[in-house]
Amino acid sequence: MKAEDELRAVASEVRGCEACKLHLSRKNAVPGEGPAASELMFIGEGPGFHENEQGRPFVGAAGKYLDELLAKIGLSREQVFIGNVVKCRPPGNRDPLPEEIQACAGYLERQVNAIQPRVIVTLGRFSMARYFPNTRISDIHGQARLVNGRMVVAMYHPAAALHQPSLRREIEADFARLPELIQRAAPTASETEPKAPPQQLNLF
Ligand code: URA
Ligand code: SF4
């Protein structure tokens, strides 16, 4: 299946999903959005108030800050995929429960497999835990690590960083490294291009 079609299929399944009890209190499920060919994929925690109202990811205060962070590195949200660990809002913005994360995990997996991003950025500890269980975000944020051959970078959640000057500095420094990491994660020429025939050199 083409990546666009798979993303559309996931989004439509998510909107009708009743696999965990978060479906009972949602107004709109938030499947996530962005181009199928995104090189960069952000994974947040779950929809908050505004996301639940609009059915779109990161459209509240944290989302505005995410837009600013992207702009500082010359990107806009239209160029990246933005998703979440759980697609329906936990009531009162409580933490998602392990069984809710588990119930929703297959959708995120399908999104990652369809997009095949060069770099995944986890925002906050719930998406971090999916790739780096038993780690602390303060220990590993901003570090590029390979998980099953894909580059994953854990970062603070923009909502946490927004009001905390020290975390703000950290997340901005971590974002500043992303352009270089995306380049480093790029497939090398030898992976994408047919091998050139051996060159004939006439030295004399
Ligand atoms: N916080 C998140 O983790 N995800 C959103 O979509 C919005 C806020
Ligand atoms: Fe389904 Fe995920 Fe929503 Fe739970 S949070 S109802 S698993 S889409």
pLDDT of 190 higher than 60? no
Q: Assess whether pLDDT exceeds 70 at residue 96.
A: yes
For the chain, the average pLDDT equals: 94
For the chain, what percentages of helix, strand and coil (3-state, to nearest 5) are there? 50, 10, 40
112 close to 127: Cβ distance less than 8 angstroms: no
Query: In the predicted model, what is the mean pLDDT of residues 157-185?
Result: 97
Distance 72 CA to ligand 1 centre (A): 20
Tokens of 117: 């991003």
Tokens of 104: 């929703």
- Give this prediction's pTM: 0.92
What is the per-residue pLDDT across 9-62, written as a single tens digit (0 to 9) for each? Answer: 999 999 999 999 999 999 999 999 999 999 999 999 999 999 999 999 999 999
Domains of the chain: 3-183 (3.40.470.10)
> Which residue lies with its CA nearest to atom 2 of ligand 2?
104
Quick check: 75 pLDDT over 80?
yes
pLDDT at 194: 60
How far apart CA 203 and CA 174 sit, in angstroms, is 49
pLDDT in tens, 110-148: 999 999 999 999 999 999 999 999 999 999 999 999 999
Rounded to the nearest angstrom, the distance between the alpha carbon of 53 and the centre of ligand 1 is 12
Does the pLDDT at position 203 exceed 60?
no
The ligand placed nearest to the CA atom of residue 14 is: 2
For residues 4 and 1, give the distance between their C-alpha atoms in angstroms, rounded to a whole number. 8
**Long-range contacts, stretch 53-58, CB < 8 angstroms, 24+ apart:** 53/27, 53/28, 54/28, 55/15, 55/28, 55/29, 55/30, 56/30, 57/30, 57/32, 57/33, 57/82, 57/83, 57/84, 58/82, 58/158
